[in-house]
Amino acid sequence: MLSPLQYFVVLFAVCAYAFVRGRSDERTVATICVIASIASVAVISPLASRYSQVEAGVFIVDLATFAGFTFVALRSERFWPLWVAGLQLTTLMSHAFKLGRLDLMPQAYAAAARFWVYPIFVIIVIGTWRSHRRRLERRRQAALA
């Protein structure tokens, strides 16, 4: 896993790309990622007890994030937001797993709760790149017509 500083650098780079090159879906998902990241930092337990029990605050943030991603996926014409929502659902399952297995090591719970954000970032970048490429192709075709 990345350090918090490295994570926020990657988050900023992914979201900046989505805001500059993306359309509505990309920008909305990027906004949700920024809000969820800041909210997670605000509600997470103190370092000494972090992930030793179910992180209720992080669970609520993850649930709201899932709802936001699902909303985008349901109204989008593209398929990639559905992947993002599905990966966020996997993140939610880490909280359910911890609830069912309170003896789960905090490191395993933390890794399961954090891991899926990186594939989500990759999907946002790919979705943004493809959206931008489609727009450029349409402009090129319009210029030729």
Euclidean distance between CA atoms 10 and 37, whole angstroms? 12
The tokens of 12 are what? 């900023």
* Predicted model pTM: 0.93
Identify the DSSP state of 51.
Answer: T
**pLDDT at position 91 over 90:** yes
Q: For the segment 5-39, what is each residue's pLDDT rounded down to a tens digit?
A: 999 999 999 999 999 999 999 999 999 999 999 99
> Residue 138: what pLDDT?
93
Distances from the Cα of 9 to the Cα of 3, 16, 41, 81, 131, angstroms: 10, 10, 15, 22, 23
Identity of residue 30:
A
Taking CA 81 as the corner, what is the angle to CA 24 and CA 130, rounded to the nearest 5 degrees? 65
**pLDDT at position 102 over 90:** no
| DSSP alpha helix (H) spans, the chain | 4-21, 24-43, 56-75, 80-100, 106-115, 117-144
**Residue 84 near residue 51 (C-beta atoms within 8 A):** no
Q: For the segment 31-42, what is each residue's pLDDT rounded down to a tens digit?
A: 999 999 999 999
Residue 77: burial class (beta carbons within 10 Å; 0-12, 13-18, 19+): exposed
> Residue 71: what pLDDT?
98
Q: For the segment 31-77, what is each residue's pLDDT rounded down to a tens digit?
A: 999 999 999 999 999 999 999 999 999 999 999 999 999 999 999 99
